[in-house]
Amino acid sequence: MGWEYAPAPESREIVSIAREYGLFVNGEFSPAQGSKTFATVNPATEEPLARVALAGGRDVDRAVSAARTAYEQVWGPMPGAERAKYLYRIARILQERSREFAVLESIDNGKPIKETRDVDIPLAAAHFFYYAGWADKLDYAGFGPQPRSLGVAGQVIPWNFPLLMAAWKLAPALAAGNTCVLKPAETTPLSALLLAEVCQQAELPPGVVNVLTGAGDTGAAVVAHPGVDKVAFTGSTEVGIAIAEAIAGTGKKLTLELGGKAANVVFDDAPVEQAIEGIVNGIFFNQGHVCCAGSRLLVQESVAEHVVDRLRRRLATLRLGDPLDKNTDIGAINSRQQLDKITELSAAGEAEGAHRWSPPCELPKKGYWFAPTVFTGVSQSHRIAREEIFGPVLSVLTFRTPEEAVTKANNTPYGLSAGVWTEKGSRILWMAQKMRAGVVWANTYNRFDPASPFGGYRESGFGREGGRHGLAAYLDV
Ligand code: NDP
């Protein structure tokens, strides 16, 4: 007997989306120079949602100067215990308005409501709570007495976790006493603008947080501005390299959180059902738009057939569709551009000889969609084993010995994350030491906590976000 889920759509009523949004500078919303705007669309329907101000060079000047004044006159001199009160206030308002944020994020990004509701928004609030706790304890953070803040932070974030990335950037910067100019991604500006409203509601002093919406040129102007003391970027390795080049020699402090091609390693003694959930969560969470996604499954040869078979059966139960439906597991791809990239790389996988499989699943007629896809028979030289696809596409490779697993896991220019599935604790520790990745999950995957530092090696960037280590990026240490 087949069981069908009845639709369980979350109401849009809780969110009111304005027709037009301005830039958030010095505590107020204002139009961009020349009143330039761009559209943001719902990727699940291609419906235009709003027009958003496109910040130019003069707007960046305005925002950096507001941030500088706020830094020198208000936020810098303010005792940490007072700064903490504002951060706690922002955290509490995020919790109070969590449903509104969850719906807005799903509409603007395309990700399922159950993820925005259970992951993005609670974690964003948790980051503000966590760093609020540090604001008056910087003397005891292990950086010596009275560590100094840096000044104005220019922060550029991507579209895959729009509010959460804003929280990762803003909370430690503010706790440490810096002021911020934040540039959200072009395709997902709305939750950062709602966060700006939350800053107003929390009565955060004007200029402490500024939000400049725009495209890549706006981001480039923020990071290059001479009034910016610290640059924090999350996004593609190409843009990360361009930013590092642009600010080389300026003395600006830099942290980069870039791409990844993580190995999720399953040994023959792993509990298979648990590992299947971990594999699914590792690559199909957030449509695979995750820098630390477990996009390369390395499975021990003796169990490979069994694991792939169980995985296929599990994937056949995933529900793809309306992001606002609480039953939905896989939402929309964030943009046409990203869909084209996933389509192109998947076609390359087939052309290079890997075997492509997707569960039967009907894609909606409008919007940007891609069925969950598994490639078997993948070799290390295939593009789908080397390049970051940033979509719901898993490449399966096999290994025979732990040494081979380590060699294959490390055969990537990236080094952000990895997973290991085995019942032997000693093997977990051995693997964790050998795999060159900033984060290694053992018998779980894609778990995040504000107290736990996150960041990469090599082409995945440098610097850590989260935890005590995340403070170092915003202090003169
Ligand atoms: P980008 O790296 O271009 O975007 C990240 C942010 O940087 C956005 O806010 C973007 O603005 C901004 N930006 C773009 N160019 C510049 C620049 N020269 N100087 C400063 N800021 C800039 O990623 P894309 O959205 O183009 O995605 C491309 C690929 O990158 C994806 O397919 C994926 O593989 C990878 N990616 C990885 C992420 C990660 O977390 N590791 C996150 C996002 C993407 P705007 O959005 O307006 O272009």
CA 310 to centroid of ligand 1, rounded, Å = 35
Question: Tokens 């389509």 sit at which residue?
Answer: 343
Positions marked active-site: 257, 291
Average pLDDT over residues 112-125: 98
pLDDT in tens, 399-409: 999 999 999 99
Q: Which of 336, 338, 339, 392 is nearest to 41 (CA)?
A: 336
pLDDT score of 342 more than 80: yes
pLDDT tens sequence across 193-219: 999 999 999 999 999 999 999 999 999
pLDDT tops 80 at residue 3: no
From 156, 257, 292, give the residue whose CB has the most ligand 1 atoms within 8 Å, as the site to mutate. Answer: 156
Whether the pTM exceeds 0.75: the reply is yes
Task: Report, as an integer, the average pLDDT of 159-188.
Answer: 98
Q: Is 465 in the pocket of ligand 1 (CB under 6 A)?
A: no
215 Cα nearest atom in ligand 1: 47
To the nearest 10°, the Cα dihedral for 191, 194, 198, 204?
90
Q: Is the CB of 416 under 6 A from ligand 1?
A: no
- Say what the pLDDT of residue 298 is: 98
Kindly give the distance from the C-alpha atom of residue 455 to the centroid of ligand 1, in angstroms, as a whole number. 17
Report which protein residue has its CA nearest ligand 1's atom 24. 236
**Which pLDDT score, from 0 to 100, does residue 1 have?**
62
Give me the mean pLDDT over the 227-240 stretch: 97
pLDDT at 4 over 90: no
CA atoms of 346 and 306, how far apart (whole Å): 24
Q: Calculate Rg over the CA atoms of the chain.
A: 22
- Residue 59 pLDDT class (50, 70, 90 cuts): very high
Beta carbon of 186 within 6 Å of any ligand 1 atom? yes
Whole-angstrom Cα distance, residue 236 to residue 438? Answer: 17
Is residue 183 within 6 Å of ligand 1 at its C-beta?
Answer: yes
- For residue range 346-376, list pLDDT tens digits in order: 999 999 999 999 999 999 999 999 999 999 9
Per residue in 267-299, pLDDT (tens digit) is 999 999 999 999 999 999 999 999 999 999 999
CA of 416, closest atom in ligand 1: 41
Quote the pLDDT of residue 418. 98
Q: Is 80 exceeded by the pLDDT of residue 227?
A: yes
